[in-house]
Chain A
Amino acid sequence: MSFGPGSRAATFAVYTITMTAVGTTCYHCGEACNNTAIVQEEKAFCCEGCKLVFELLNGHQLCDYYRLNEQPGIPQRIAVRKDKFAFLEDDKIVQQLIRFRDDTQTHITFYIPNIHCSSCLWLLENLQRLNDGIQRVSVNFTRKEAQVVFLHQQLSLRGVTELLTSIGYEPYISLQDLQGNKPTVNRRLIYQLGVAGFCFGNIMLLSFPEYFSGPGGMDTGLFRWLNLALSLPVFFYSAQVFFRSGWGGVKHGFLNIDVPIALAILVTFVRSVSDVWMGTGAGYFDSMTGIVFLMLAGRILQEKTYQGLSFDRDYTAYFPIAVTVIDEEKETPVALPDIKTGQTLLIHHQELIPADGILVKGEALIDYSFVTGEATPVRRSVGEIIYAGGYQLAGNITLLTVKEVAQSYLTSLWNRRELKEEKVKAPSFIHLLGRYFAWLVLSLAAITAAWWAVHDPSRIWPAVTAILIVACPCGLLLAASFTNGFILRILSGQRLYLRNAAAIERLSDTDHIVFDKTGTLSSRNSAEVSFYGKALSAAERSAIAALAAQSSHPLSKMVYAYCGTGAAPVQDFVSKPGMGISGQVHNNIIRLGNADFTGAGNNDTNEGSAVYLNMNGRVYGRFSVRNGYRKGMQGLFRRIREHFALSLLSGDNDREAAAFRELMGPRAILRFEQMPQDKLDYILHLQQQGRRVLMIGDGLNDAGALLQSHTGISVTENSNNFTPASDGILEAGQLPLLPDFIQLCRSGKHIILISFIISLVYNISGLCFAVQGTLSPLVAAILMPSSSLSIILITWGMSAAAGRRLQRRALRIADDKDQFRG
């Protein structure tokens, strides 16, 4: 029986009523308990694993875990293999994983995907109560990381990992950890902003006496020198970003927008220093530091990073760190990069195949959905070649490697040279616009210089420097960085996470959209199940459901969902990996599984995955499971097929071609049975025709195409899942909003242009003073903040309006319940 923690007798009745209505749920993880037998201390558990975790926590007085959140645990139905972490005994691997080690202590940071609530936080940070070897654990919740300090004389790294795994927090250790290319957090910009803000504020205060004392007022020499001193850190430290980027541009022969900006900062600084030095004026320190501060703020806003999301995952993030090698009857874990051809690998049930090899022993049933998008697992027999990247589903197998990990079919996709090179990106229109602007300003400065050379040579210097100060294209840069920053935030509010601001512009230029099918348009979650064969009675259905509930296999779960609920006790339950399950429910002996297992013979159905049903020795029929389409697809294609060229690339066969033709329109290009390489080549082919391609995919099979396309967006059910390297991550449910996302990016461009034109008004009025050589620091100090402030306000207001339009559309689409059935 289950009732909430701290519940009193009065509420007991309510709990029992809900119990009978929805069935008992596990006290640990909240999953439905169909097998009612597992009860400990009046608490029901769905499986032995959950009960074990509870007993462990209960034994160490750690039951606050259940008090902070109800049913906070992670389902433990699938036990983790006992020697899964045996590779952590290997010193070479350990050395590369740990962060720090001295005589007694070791520090390591684990990535733990299961961290999801405050209970997790509490339990992990109290880990030392479970084992004395643990010194302290600190969790970074947003990054889902736990930093563990332990005494390695008492507890090995393997011990720590197994301790975490035993309470349901299995660390995720992949090949990527070994290569040590973790992104580091860059805080430099924030320090630069802090310093600029401090100096700007103080310089502004210290400039007041200058502005308001008037002629014959107090002596402001001291203030001027203080301003000069305060501007030094801004010029030499905070403004470095612009100098570096500008210099980089010059070196590559590309005049980006930072070139005129760096020039303007330099000129302002030199002019101001010379003014103070000669005693001819106060200089423009407040304008200079102010603009540096605001531009840095815009840059930070624009370079928003999403912690916990990674846009740079390649195959190493999916591959295990080590694999078991059989050498003279002995099983030893070997780090993946050290695998040579000709070695014998032992691949356990549910493990990934890391290198191409020939099957030596065992029965291979390989799920390549990750690589090819094909949902049905592939069967291979001894002597056949198995390509890397698939998951073994039917027990342990042994294979002889024929290629090294880096040379295997899947990994070689990444090691292709063209992908390593930077994508050829068209420079942003901001840089082009900034360039015109810079030439205009320079010619204006030249004309002014020529004019004063004739009339009054002493005014050349003040006039020319003032022009360069006023006409800096910082208005354009501010408009661009603030608009991009706002748009990134609006998009992330609708769960489209873009890698950077450049992706906004590329997305707005899209004219050809390429879709992947499996996992992108169709969903593994919204499977459609139908039963073909003898009609089932309600009692039979509930008996089948009771049996199917015993297995965590995805097909079982779907059959369970199709048959409704069933909580009858199951006897003689047997699960054969890769074959099926059997058991006795109410005197019915039921077998669910493949054709061989149920004795159905080889019926070629060619329609997704089939689960056959055998009851009491008679084959009743089969459950046909196929991927359903995501919600809102019809509406999506109705809206985009007029405006964009469309293509579909599917790793699957063409049995759904007619349905997609109807969905995507007569002009769409549909290609089936596409290998990852074909997808990449198709994108290249489109690009050679001058198309700006947006690729939308999900799996490793699309990774090459996602990288190659102008904008690659990977679709995921949950943004915490792993996604291949791409320019953006989109939560699957938001896919129908795609045209609105592109529309928002386009309006972003308009917003930048409009606010830039408005800022020009300020520039021009400043120029009127500048050409005459009469730009006083006070005028500059009024113009600069008012122009910057109005740009920030305008971009904010217009982006917010565009964001509200997007939100209204999102609500309308959420109401629209159209469901496309192929």
Chain B
Amino acid sequence: MIMVTLYGGRYICTVKLITMSVIILLLGASLTVGLTFLAAFIWSVRSGQFEDHYSPAHRILFDDAAADNNHPDTTTKQS
């Protein structure tokens, strides 16, 4: 429908209005996405994720189930 009106000289103004409002919508969306990532970045710095690179990487490998010590076979070896 917009395509049709594009060729009609009378409606150019309307078309421009429509494209503008679409752009405003897109602007809002892109800024929201950007802001979300900025917030995520600030949160990750604040929670100290960039301060200790060793512990989290190894912590995830610890076997919770080994707590009861009944699985001598499931040995986790790291250097």
A binds B: yes
Interface residues of A (CB under 8 A from B): 5-6, 61, 63-64, 67-69, 118, 121-122, 125-126, 129, 139-143, 185, 187, 190-191, 194-195, 198, 201-202, 205-206, 218-219, 222, 226, 307
B62, A122: Cβ atoms closer than 8 Å = yes
List A contacts of B52 (CB < 8 A).
Answer: 140-143
Q: Which A residues are in CB contact (< 8 Å) with B62?
A: 64, 68, 118, 122
B51 and A185 form a contact (CB under 8 A)? yes
Q: Judge whether B78 and A226 touch: CB under 8 Å.
A: no
Q: Which of B38, B53, B54, B59 contacts A194 (CB 8 A)?
A: B38
Residues of A within 8 A of B41 (CB): 194
B10 cross-chain contacts in A, Cβ below 8 A: none
Whole-angstrom distance between the Cβ of B68 and the nearest chain A Cβ: 7
Please tell me if B67 contacts chain A, counting CB pairs below 8 Å. Answer: yes
Pick 27 A–B contacts, CB within 8 A, sort by A. A6-B73, A61-B69, A68-B76, A69-B78, A69-B79, A118-B61, A118-B62, A118-B78, A121-B54, A121-B58, A122-B58, A122-B62, A126-B67, A139-B55, A142-B51, A142-B54, A143-B51, A187-B45, A190-B45, A191-B42, A191-B45, A194-B42, A195-B38, A198-B34, A201-B34, A205-B30, A307-B51
Which residues of chain B are near A141, meaning CB under 8 Å?
Answer: 52, 54-55, 58
Residue of A nearest to B72 (CB): A6
B-side interface size class = 35 or more
- Nearest A residue (CB) for B27: A226
Cα separation A774 to B66 with both chains bound (whole Å)? 72
Give 10 nearest A-B pairs by CB, closest first.
Answer: A141-B54, A61-B69, A118-B58, A198-B38, A141-B55, A6-B75, A140-B52, A194-B41, A142-B52, A64-B66
- Of chain A, the residue at the smallest CB distance from B55 is A141
Secondary structure type dominating chain A contacts: helix
* Nearest CB of A to B60, in Å: 11
User: A222 contacts which of B24, B50, B68 (Cβ < 8 Å)?
Assistant: B24
A206 cross-chain contacts in B, Cβ below 8 A: 27
Residues of B within 8 A of A122 (CB): 58, 62
**Bound CA–CA A427/B78 (angstroms):** 49
A198-B45 contact, Cβ under 8 Å, with A68-B78, A125-B59, A205-B30: no
Which A residues are CB-close (under 8 A) to B45?
187, 190-191, 194
Least CB distance from B51 to A in Å reads: 7
Main secondary structure of the interface of B (DSSP, over half): helix
Interchain nearest-CB distance for A238 vs B (Å): 12
Q: For B30, what are the chain A residues with a Cβ–Cβ distance below 8 Å?
A: 202, 205
A198 in contact with B59 given A68-B77, A141-B54, A187-B46 (CB within 8 Å): no
| B11 neighbours in A (Cβ, 8 Å) | none
B35 at the interface (CB under 8 A from A): yes
> Distance (Å) between the CB of A223 and the closest chain B CB?
8
CB of B75, distance to nearest CB on chain A (Å): 5
CB-CB contacts of B12-53 with A at 8 A, as 1s and 0s?
000010011000100100110011011001100110001111
Residues of B within 8 A of A139 (CB): 55
| Known contacts A121-B55, A191-B42, A195-B38; A61 and B75 CB within 8 A of each other | no
Contacts of A126 in B (CB 8 A): 67
Given the complex, which residues of A lie within 8 Å of B20, measured CB to CB?
A: 218-219, 222
Q: Which residues of chain B have C-beta atoms less than 8 A from A205's C-beta?
A: 30
State which of A5, A198, A226 has its C-beta within 8 Å of the C-beta of B75.
A5
Known contacts A68-B77, A122-B62, A222-B24; A198 and B51 CB within 8 A of each other:
no
**Shortest Cβ distance from B72 into chain A, in angstroms?**
7
Is the CB–CB distance between A63 and B69 below 8 Å?
A: yes
Residue of B nearest to A142 (CB): B52
Please give, as numbers and ranges, the residues of chain A lying within 8 Å of B73 by CB-CB distance. Answer: 6
- Give bound CA distance, A121 to B20, whole Å: 57
* Closest B residue, CB atoms, query A145: B52
A63 and B67 alpha carbons, distance in the complex (Å): 9
Would you call A198 and B69 a contact (CB within 8 A)? no
CB neighbours (8 Å) of B34 from chain A are: 198, 201-202
Q: List the A residue with the shortest CB-CB distance to B40.
A: A194
Most chain B CB atoms below 10 A, which of A140, A141, A206, A307: A141
Assembly CA distance A307 to B50 (angstroms): 11
Instruction: Report the minimum CB–CB distance from A169 to chain B (whole Å).
Output: 15
CB pair A67 B76 closer than 8 Å: yes
Contacts of A118 in B (CB 8 A): 58, 61-62, 78
Inter-chain contacts of B68 with A (CB < 8 A): 61
Instruction: Give the chain A neighbours of B61 by CB distance below 8 A.
Output: 118
Q: Write out the residue numbers on chain A whose beta carbons fall within 8 Å of the beta carbon of B72.
A: 6
B53 to chain A, nearest CB (A): 7
What is the minimal beta-carbon distance from A136 to any residue of chain B, in angstroms? 13
Query: Whole-angstrom distance between the alpha carbons of A185 and B54 in the complex?
Result: 18
Closest to B59 in A: A121
Question: Within the complex, what minimum Cβ distance (angstroms) separates B1 from chain A?
Answer: 21
Chain A residue numbers with a CB within 8 Å of B66 are 64, 67
Would A142 and B53 be within 8 Å (CB), given that A118-B58, A118-B78, A194-B41 are in contact? yes
* Residues on the B chain within 8 Å of A6, using CB: 72-73, 75
For A140, the chain B residues whose CB sits under 8 A away are 51-52, 55
Q: Which residues of A contact B38 (CB under 8 A)?
A: 194-195, 198
B35 in contact with A198 (CB, 8 Å): yes
A801 CB → nearest B CB, Å: 28
**Residue from the set A122, A126, A201 with the largest chain B CB neighbour count within 10 Å:** A122
Q: Chain B residues near A63 (CB, 8 Å)? A: 69
In the bound complex, CA of A67 to CA of B61 (Å):
13
Nearest chain-B residue to A118 (Cβ)? B58
Measured CB to CB, the nearest residue on chain B to A201 is: B34
Q: How far is the CB of B57 from chain A (nearest CB, A)?
A: 9
Distance (whole angstroms) from the CB of A744 to the closest CB of chain B: 26
**Cα A218 to Cα B24 with chains together (Å):** 13
- CB–CB B59/A202 < 8 A: no
- The reply to whether B69 and A64 form a contact with Cβ atoms under 8 Å apart is yes
Distance, CA A358 to CA B52, complexed state (A): 47
Other A-B contacts than A69-B77, A121-B55, A218-B16, 10 sampled, CB-CB below 8 A, are: A6-B75, A61-B67, A61-B68, A118-B58, A118-B62, A121-B54, A121-B59, A140-B52, A141-B55, A218-B20
A142 / chain B contacts, CB cutoff of 8 Å: 51-54
Distance in angstroms between the alpha carbons of A371 and B75 in the assembled complex: 48
Please indicate which of the listed interface residues A6, A64, A201, A226 has the most CB atoms of chain B within 10 Å of its own CB: A64
Minimum CB–CB distance from B13 to chain A (whole Å) comes to 12
Which A residues lie within 8 Å of B27 (CB)? 206, 226
A190 to B54, CA, bound (A): 21
Measured in the bound complex, the distance between the Cα atoms of B31 and A126 in whole Å is 44
Which residues in A have their C-beta under 8 angstroms from that of B51?
140, 142-143, 185, 307
Q: Inside 8 A of A67's CB, which chain B residues have their CB?
A: 66, 75-77
A5 neighbours in B (Cβ, 8 Å): 75
A187 neighbours in B (Cβ, 8 Å): 45-46
A198 in contact with B37 (CB, 8 Å): yes
In the complex, what residues of A have CB within 8 A of residue B35's CB? 198
CB distance from B78 to the nearest CB of A (A): 5
Looking across the interface, which residue of chain B has its beta carbon closest to that of A5? B75
